[in-house]
Structure formats: C-alpha cells, structure tokens
C-alpha cells in the first residue's frame, strides 16, 4: 500500500478565485483531491521539486502545502521515502486526528499484547495463565499493612515527601547488602520494565543493534524497538555460543539482553560455562550486557549459577531485578545494579518521566528485606509455585489428548513453554480459549522476527491448584475441536527435557 506513486496525478487548480496564500490554495486543492479519491489512501505524492516544476510554483510553496495537509492528518512524510496519503478528509464533527500527530518513536510501540495480559489478569471472569504473576493469594498482607501503618506513624516525612531519584537510602542499602554490591551502584526502579526502558533510552541511538534472547521477554523487545534499535534474536534454547559470536561479528550490537535464569518465556537456565563464555564474548566485542535477573531467586530446589553480574570481571554487565515476582507486580518496584557513572546517568534519564519511585512501597520493602521477611516469603513461593506446576502438569496429562502438547519442564520461575502439534496455531487456540474464559500468551509475541506461531506460554504460578485444574479443563474443552483438524500424534503431553 505504501509503495506506489500516484501515476495519474490530478490536475490541481490553484490559481482560481479562492483567496489566501498560494500554499493554502495548493493545500486545499490537495485536500480536495484526497476527498474525492483522486489521491487515494497509500499513494505517494510527487516530490516537492517535481510538483513545484509541474505547477510552476516555488518549492517552498509545495513544502508548506505538504506541511499543512500533514498537520490535518491527511498525509504523512517519511524521511527518505516521500509523502503518503494516510487518511481521508474529516467533517467538522470528526474527532481530532491524534494519530497524525504521533512521533515516530511512539509508532514503534504498537504491540497491544502487554495491555491484554494485564486486563485478562485483572478480569475475574477469566482464569489467566497469561500474565506473569506469583502466588498473590500468599502475599503477606497483614505484615505489609502493619509495616505501612508503622512507617506512616513514625516517619511521615520520608513516606510522604519528595525522595531521591536514585531511591530511598534504606532500600538502596538493603538491596546492596542482599546483592553484595556498594550502595552507590543501586538504582531503585518503578519496576524492572522501567530499567529496560531507561537503559534503552540512555544507551541506544536509532539503528543500533541489540542481540537478545529468542524467544525473549516481550517488554524488552518493545523497549528496544521503541528506541529505534534493530533487535536481533539469539536462540536461547540452543544457547550456541558460535551463533552468538556470529551475531556479534555481523551486527556489532551495542547491547546483549538476556534473562539467564528461568527465562521468560522458555523457563530455561543458562549453565555456568555458557555464562562465562557469554561474558568473554561481550568483553571481546566490547558489548554491554543487560542481565535480567527477574526470576533468579524463584528456583524450586536448586539455585541457578551465579548472576552474570558477579561472574563479570570487566564491568560489562548491568543487572536488573524486580520485586514483582518475589512479592507483587502491583507494588511497581524493581532495581538495577551498574557502575556508578551509569547509575547517575540513568537516574537523570529517569527524572524526565518519573522523578522518583513512590516512597511508601520502598520503605516497606526495605523493612521486609531487613527483617528477613522477604527471604521467608520467597521460600514459601518456591514451594507453592512448584506445587502449582505439578498440578498443571498432571491436569494437562489428564485432560488433553494423548501426545498433543510438548513442553520444557522448568526448574523454577513461573512459565511452561509449550509446543502445539504441527499445523495447530496458538492464535486460533487463544481465540477459542478467551471465549471460554481462559487466557494464555501466544508464542509469536516473544519473537523479534517470525516464529512462535505453534508455541504458547502458560503461567502456572498465579492461580491456586484447584483453579489451575479448572482452567486446564476449559482449555481441553476448546482444544478438542481444534485437534480434529490436525494430527493426533505430533508431540506428547510430556516434558521434552
């Protein structure tokens, strides 16, 4: 649609009796041509120079006329490609054409998947295996309320006044002690997603390459894309270091982004030798590494290898963490650890949209960490999430047709990454599932390029075992008709590793 030039450019009458300046008369003539369909949607207008020569007017007149109709939302200019008709004319009653005013960066953020995940998760009619939430029904509500009241009573100034952009000193100190770094290297975030966005804004120029997990966390894909980066996938399940080196050589990325423990969405954990090799490659090719450690404490029995941040001897790693999965996503609290200079720069970028993370939550969580209550809660979650995974596995086995779904059994985290039988599409299944009140995430949302149409992600952590069983039975009910059209022997309701 965006590629053809208008072959029969209409005869524009700009010298008639209509008053106003010449560029306005030209703008009116162009708008009229759009209105009557002489300039249809998607057509490319002649270059300013060509039209000026054709009409015998100055190039400035044409440029001003193009700007005028762009401001009315009728055309849109793309640098290096030309000016295209993008909308029909509007009557006086039509709402203001906001879309025509959007910045290029905003137009790169069009994927609605995250929004869907959050609305399904908060809809009581839907059993959601979609959004990544921990066992919120086990949240220490009483303790949290008690600490909140205590802080408001004893330290209202810290709770209610302004605070430093880098974060409340008590929380920075608590995170620093827990993670084993100096306090100056900690930046408190309004969620880990903010950290990814800040790093993207701070480090990426349009056109820079980023190599990231494939499939990988879709919030990271969105943050890097919005910064204008060229996002290149590295196959995380194969974790082939030769492939990673090829990508570094070919694309010379500024950043590698990886989620090495209980990865979202696959649940896989990068073994120690590969972690060391990744760091060696990053140092050799002078590429910064963003380590997303969101799930690393949520192992079932055995902790993952040490974070890349602690294995790194050269200082190439920025580590991002979150309290969303260890406590609750609604707290909107995360942190990052990086070299002091980077922390200062990121804090300056943060100030542009979020002068500081809300104080009250920071102060409560600092207390939870200090009193050892966070660790206690995380231990509880490990056991509870493992039970929920077992319930999901057992019900999938029981309710779905034999040999219909394969998945990787994770050793922690919150997700079951599943492969559908050949020819079955996750998007089709999702449509039926939503109709039946059950949600999951279609696999293609996690791919930067093509891929994932036959894969899906189920979050097993967020709902109690009984609800998991009911949800899987609902999924099975919409699965049956789907299966009729496909082979029944494609994979297996069984872990593949």
Ligand X SMILES: Cc1ncc(COP(=O)(O)O)c(C=O)c1O
Residues lying near ligand X in the complex (CB under 6 A) are found at 132, 191-193, 217, 219, 259, 264, 292, 294, 322, 324, 329, 334
Q: Which is nearer to ligand X, 305 or 361 (CB)?
A: 361
Q: What is the smallest separation between the CB atom of 407 and ligand X, expressed in angstroms?
A: 18
Angle at 156 (CA atoms; ends 154, 160), nearest 5 degrees:
155
Q: What is the smallest separation between the CB atom of 322 and ligand X, expressed in angstroms?
A: 3
Q: What is the smallest separation between the CB atom of 293 and ligand X, expressed in angstroms?
A: 9
Q: Are strands 334-337 and 317-322 parallel, antiparallel or unpaired?
A: antiparallel
Q: Quick one: tokens of 155?
A: 């330290």
Return the bridge partners of 334, or none: 189, 322
Q: What is the smallest separation between the CB atom of 116 and ligand X, expressed in angstroms?
A: 14
Q: Which is nearer to ligand X, 334 or 412 (CB)?
A: 334
Q: Which is nearer to ligand X, 84 or 217 (CB)?
A: 217
Q: What is the smallest separation between the CB atom of 451 and ligand X, expressed in angstroms?
A: 18
The span from the CA of 352 to the CA of 347, in Å, is: 9
What number of other Cβ atoms are within 10 A of residue 477's Cβ? 14
Q: What is the smallest separation between the CB atom of 93 and ligand X, expressed in angstroms?
A: 41
Q: Which is nearer to ligand X, 165 or 294 (CB)?
A: 294
- The alpha carbon torsion through 276, 277, 280, 284 (nearest 10 deg) reads -170
CA distance to 80, 105, 237, 248, 319, per residue, from 205 (Å): 18, 12, 29, 17, 21
Q: What is the smallest separation between the CB atom of 450 and ligand X, expressed in angstroms?
A: 22
Q: Which is nearer to ligand X, 74 or 456 (CB)?
A: 456
Q: Which is nearer to ligand X, 192 or 229 (CB)?
A: 192
User: Of all residues in this chain, which one has the CB nearest to ligand X in the complex?
Assistant: 191
Q: Which is nearer to ligand X, 73 or 334 (CB)?
A: 334
Q: Which is nearer to ligand X, 74 or 363 (CB)?
A: 363
The residue among 13, 17, 7, 9 whose CA lies nearest residue 26 is 13
Q: Which is nearer to ligand X, 83 or 322 (CB)?
A: 322
The pair phi, psi for residue 165, each rounded to 5°, is -60, -30
Q: Which is nearer to ligand X, 86 or 175 (CB)?
A: 175
Asked if 118 contacts 131 with a C-beta cutoff of 8 angstroms, the reply is: yes
Q: What is the smallest separation between the CB atom of 393 and ligand X, expressed in angstroms?
A: 21
Angle at 292 (CA atoms; ends 177, 334), nearest 5 degrees:
55
Q: What is the smallest separation between the CB atom of 334 and ligand X, expressed in angstroms?
A: 4
Q: Quick one: tokens of 189?
A: 């975030």
Q: Which is nearer to ligand X, 82 or 462 (CB)?
A: 462
Q: What is the smallest separation between the CB atom of 414 and ligand X, expressed in angstroms?
A: 8
Q: What is the smallest separation between the CB atom of 28 and ligand X, expressed in angstroms?
A: 49
């Amino acid at each position: 649609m965006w590629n053809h030039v208008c072959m029969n450019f209409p005869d524009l009458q700009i010298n008639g009796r209509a008053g106003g300046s010449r560029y306005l008369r030209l703008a009116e003539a162009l708008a009229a041509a759009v209105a009557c369909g002489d300039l249809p949607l998607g057509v490319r207008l002649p270059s300013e120079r060509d039209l000026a020569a054709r009409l015998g007017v100055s190039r400035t007149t044409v440029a001003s006329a193009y700007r005028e109709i762009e401001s009315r939302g009728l055309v849109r200019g793309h640098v290096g490609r030309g000016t295209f008709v993008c909308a029909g004319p509007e009557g006086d009653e039509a709402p203001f054409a906001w879309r025509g005013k959007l910045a290029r960066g905003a137009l790169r953020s069009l994927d609605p998947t995250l929004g869907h995940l959050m609305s399904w998760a908060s809809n009581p009619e839907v059993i959601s295996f979609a959004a990544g939430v921990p066992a919120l029904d086990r949240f220490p509500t009483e303790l949290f309320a008690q600490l909140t009241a205590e802080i408001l009573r004893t330290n209202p100034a810290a709770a209610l006044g302004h605070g430093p952009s880098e974060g409340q000193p008590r929380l920075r100190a608590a995170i620093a002690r827990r993670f084993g770094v100096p306090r100056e290297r900690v930046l408190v975030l309004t969620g880990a997603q903010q950290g990814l966005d800040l790093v993207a804004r701070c480090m990426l120029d349009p056109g820079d390459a980023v190599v990231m997990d494939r499939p990988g966390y879709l919030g990271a894909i969105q943050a890097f894309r919005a910064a204008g980066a060229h996002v290149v996938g590295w196959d995380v399940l194969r974790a082939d270091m030769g492939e990673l080196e090829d990508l570094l050589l070919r694309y010379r990325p500024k950043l590698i982004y990886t989620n090495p423990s209980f990865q979202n969405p696959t649940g896989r954990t990068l073994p120690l030798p590969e972690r060391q090799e990744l760091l060696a490659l990053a140092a050799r090719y002078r590429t910064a590494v963003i380590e997303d450690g969101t799930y690393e404490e949520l192992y079932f029995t055995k902790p993952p290898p040490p974070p890349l941040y602690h294995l790194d001897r050269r200082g190439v790693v920025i580590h991002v963490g979150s309290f969303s999965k260890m406590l609750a996503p609604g707290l909107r609290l995360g942190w990052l650890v990086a070299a002091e200079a980077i922390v200062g720069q990121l804090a300056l970028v943060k100030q542009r949209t979020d002068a500081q993370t809300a104080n009250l939550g920071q102060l409560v969580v600092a207390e939870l960490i200090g009193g050892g209550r966070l660790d206690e809660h995380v231990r509880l979650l490990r056991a509870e999430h493992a039970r929920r995974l077992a319930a999901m596995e057992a019900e999938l086995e029981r309710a779905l047709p034999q040999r219909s779904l394969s998945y990787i059994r994770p050793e922690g985290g919150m997700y079951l990454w599943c492969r559908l039988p050949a020819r079955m599409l996750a998007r089709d299944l999702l449509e039926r599932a939503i109709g039946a009140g059950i949600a999951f995430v279609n696999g293609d949302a996690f791919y930067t390029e093509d891929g994932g149409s036959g894969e899906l992600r189920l979050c097993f952590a967020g709902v109690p075992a009984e609800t998991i069983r009911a949800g899987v039975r609902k999924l099975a009910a919409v699965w049956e008709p789907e299966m009729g059209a496909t082979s029944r022997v494609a994979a297996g309701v069984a872990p593949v590793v």
